[in-house]
A and B are shown apart, each in its own frame.
Chain A
Amino acid sequence: MGIQTNAVTPRNLSDLLGKLAPLEQVNGVQDYLLADCFGRIVVRKPGSLLGEEVAKGYAKDAAQAGEIFALLSASGEDERVFDFHFEGALLIVWDWGRVYLLALCGEEVNLPTTRMTANVLRDELRKDKRFREYVAPRDGDDCGLLSEQALGPDLHKHVAALKQK
């Protein structure tokens, strides 16, 4: 299992936040953050109401879920969006390659607009050479987030089953 070393590094943070700002205009999007494939926060919404530890938890959980979905999906599929439906909220995660965009939404969220906005943001990042690496495809198997050490043997046996082709 290869440990990836080419994760994004936080640079040009204020410019990056500026790129993500349109999410704040979408009805129902309560919070958002960008996490790297190690489950670390890259940037967060200014004035986010999420506590620091909760936000870190979101980042790690989303990255782990992202690795699970990546193992499941057919190779070559680079467009992945996944979400978790809670009782009164929705967490949408866009897998952009080396980063995950997380949006925590209320029930009233306008889903088509949210998805369209996220796609526009991704295209903006692709066009901007300062941020292009963020949306580049990942290499390596996973980032160690699904290692036996991270999950314990009971859960890791399912990761091993998932890797069987």
Chain B
Amino acid sequence: MALVGDLKDLNIASLVQLNCVEKNTVRLTISTPKGPAAIYFRKGEIVEATFSGEIGETALYRILSLKEGEFRVTPIAGLPERSIFTSWESLLLEGMRVIDETEKGKALIAECVGKELDETPEIERYVIASKKGEVIATSRADDAERIAAAAILLAWKGQEFASRTGLGEVGFSTLLTEKVSTFFMDCGGLVAAIFATKRTVSQSLYALVDDVQRKLKYSELSHAQRGAEMAR
């Protein structure tokens, strides 16, 4: 019988541990917005993982960083070819280390983007935050959490618009008031709000917004994906 649940209730590391300790031969699949992820266990050993075009340990480390999604554990007879030979204990430890480095990398990129914005005369202030609402970089801290909250809600609204209308992804949204124009961006796991000093939006400002969004989305990539991106 399949075990079905949500990662909000049972995290991925616990699920891995459970199947390894129980010496299960099963497939653990997780539904994510980037497609299905799968980990294969044979008699309690992790033998293969696949996610978003990646396989083996690279895929496993990305799966270990998932925090949301529905999971399903099902018994399996025909396993894929084995590409993982490391013990599950070592894999979990290494996974935690990679996640920590990825988080640091994300924060570093956000800080670098912030420094660029600090030096741009057209920008009055900015806020870069995680979708949980944690402010990562900002030029002015007084109401950064409020602005982050608005950016998160608008990112959600943009996704609703996109799925409802079929017009494709929302690149960014802008708010024009009497005095300023503000850009709100959805950058995967991050959101950003940039306040321009003028109400009139120039082409160079659009280009800057595009650049910021590209860099923040890049910070979301795994180590392997960043390497491939750099090579391109």
Chain B residues 143-157 with CB under 8 Å of chain A are 145-150, 152-154, 156-157
Chain A residues 60-115 with CB under 8 Å of chain B are 61, 64-65, 68-69, 71-74, 77, 79-89, 91
Q: Any chain A CB within 8 A of the CB of B133? A: yes
Question: A65-B154, A65-B157 given as contacts; is B169 within 8 A of A87 (CB)?
Answer: yes
Q: Any chain B CB within 8 A of the CB of A136? A: no
Count A-side interface residues using an 8 Å CB cutoff: 32
Q: Which of B146, B174, B179 sits near A164, CB closer than 8 Å?
A: B146
Contact B167 A87 (CB under 8 A): yes
CB of B55 to closest CB in A, whole Å: 31
Contact B146 A162 (CB under 8 A): yes
| Bound form: Cα–Cα A81–B174 in Å | 8
Query: What is the size category of the interface that chain B forms with chain A?
Result: 20 to 34
Contact A61 B161 (CB under 8 A): yes
Q: Which of B150, B167, B174 sits near A88, CB closer than 8 Å?
A: B167
CB of A1 to closest CB in B, whole Å: 15
Chain A residues 120-136 with CB under 8 Å of chain B are none
Q: Any chain A CB within 8 A of the CB of B172? A: yes
Q: Which of B145, B149, B171 sits near A159, CB closer than 8 Å?
A: B149
Neighbouring B residues of A162 by C-beta, 8 Å: 146, 149-150, 153
Q: Any chain A CB within 8 A of the CB of B164? A: yes
Neighbouring B residues of A68 by C-beta, 8 Å: 150, 153-154, 157
Q: Any chain B CB within 8 A of the CB of A22? A: no
Neighbouring B residues of A74 by C-beta, 8 Å: 177
Neighbouring A residues of B156 by C-beta, 8 Å: 155
Q: Which of A57, A61, A85, A158 sits near B171, CB closer than 8 Å?
A: A85
Contact A158 B149 (CB under 8 A): yes
The 9 lowest CB-CB distance pairs between A and B, nearest first, are A87-B168, A161-B149, A158-B149, A86-B167, A57-B164, A162-B149, A81-B176, A72-B150, A85-B171
Can you list 15 A-B contacts with CB-CB less than 8 angstroms, sorted by A residue number? Answer: A54-B165, A57-B164, A61-B157, A65-B173, A69-B175, A79-B178, A82-B174, A85-B173, A86-B161, A86-B171, A87-B167, A157-B133, A158-B153, A159-B149, A162-B153
